[in-house]
């Protein structure tokens, strides 16, 4: 019988290290503010229970951070494509911006489907804003052609490829995230 004998019963607590216990159960790290046990949330305890606008656990903090990344990415696309007139690096900027948006939005308390859709849509808007911004700079410099003609003449198929890269990177970021901090 393997030497176990009669009446032996395995108990998982027999494996515990004597004298070593946790202050809180491991599941407490998943508890939200105002959990069932009534313990205060450490992020809001110092401010009297109300989260402030700079609170890292604010429900809109990930959306605001992703918005800042989107604005920076669109500005970089406009500067590189419109002001400097380079196409080198536009795919990289679109991909990094899309990934950043997805990774930051993944920290949102909204559903995973909403996060993925919002990240992809925001990344696509960034690329389109970059193309429109470059076109507006071209118009300000004396250009007279329409948006689609301008995009085709200056970048060819680069903007549609930028859209695909940014959308794929945003979808990856939304599934691989979130970034905390």
**Position 34 in a domain:** yes
Asked whether 96 and 40 are in contact (CB, 8 A), the reply is no
- The residue among 12 and 43 whose pLDDT is bigger is 12
pLDDT of residue 85: 84
Structure confidence at residue 35 (pLDDT): 47
pLDDT tens-digit series, residues 27-69: 777 665 554 555 555 555 554 545 444 444 566 788 899 999 9
Q: Can you tell me the mean pLDDT for 111-136?
A: 93
- Of the candidate ranges 9-13, 42-46, 92-96, the one whose mean pLDDT is the lowest: 42-46
| Residue 74 domain-assigned (yes or no) | yes
Q: How many domains does the chain have?
A: 2
- Give the pLDDT band (50/70/90) at residue 16: low
The verdict on 17 and 81 lying in the same domain is no
Neighbours of 59 (CB within 10 A): 11
Judge if 20 and 101 occupy the same domain: no
pLDDT band, residue 149 (cuts 50/70/90): very high
Average pLDDT of the segment spanning 93-113? 91
Residue 77 in this model has a pLDDT that exceeds 90: yes
Question: What is d(CA 90, CA 94) in angstroms, rounded to the nearest whole number?
Answer: 6
Q: Are 36 and 67 in a shared domain? A: no
Task: With cut-offs at 50, 70 and 90, classify the pLDDT of residue 19.
Answer: low
In this predicted structure, the answer to whether residue 173 has a pLDDT above a threshold of 60 is yes
Does the pLDDT value for residue 178 go beyond 70? yes
- Quote the domain boundaries for residue 95: 61-176
Shared domain for 76 and 151, answered yes or no, is yes
Q: How confident is the model at residue 177 (pLDDT cuts 50, 70, 90)?
A: confident
Mean pLDDT of the chain: 80
Kindly state the average pLDDT of the residues 86-113: 91
The model's pTM: 0.66
The reply to whether 82 and 158 lie within a common domain is: yes
pLDDT at 141 over 80: yes
Whether 35 and 75 map to the same domain: the answer is no
Residues 22 and 67 in one domain: no
Same domain, 99 and 24: no
Locus of tokens 């890269």? 165
């Amino acid at each position: 019988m393997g030497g176990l004998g009669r009446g032996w019963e395995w108990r998982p607590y027999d494996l515990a290290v004597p004298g070593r216990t946790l202050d809180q159960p491991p599941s407490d790290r998943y508890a939200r503010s105002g959990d069932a046990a009534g313990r205060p949330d450490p992020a809001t305890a110092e401010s009297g229970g109300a989260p402030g606008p700079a609170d890292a656990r604010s429900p809109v903090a990930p959306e605001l951070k992703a918005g800042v990344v989107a604005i920076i990415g669109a500005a970089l696309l406009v500067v590189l494509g419109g002001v400097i007139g380079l196409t080198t690096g536009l795919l990289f900027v679109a991909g990094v911006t899309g990934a950043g948006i997805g990774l930051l939005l993944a920290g949102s308390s909204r559903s995973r489907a909403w996060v993925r859709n919002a990240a992809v849509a925001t990344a696509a808007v960034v690329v389109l804003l970059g193309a429109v911004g470059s076109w507006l700079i071209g118009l300000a410099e004396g250009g007279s052609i329409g948006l689609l003609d301008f995009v085709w003449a200056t970048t060819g198929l680069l903007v549609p490829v930028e859209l695909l890269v940014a959308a794929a990177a945003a979808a990856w970021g939304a599934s691989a995230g979130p970034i905390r901090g």
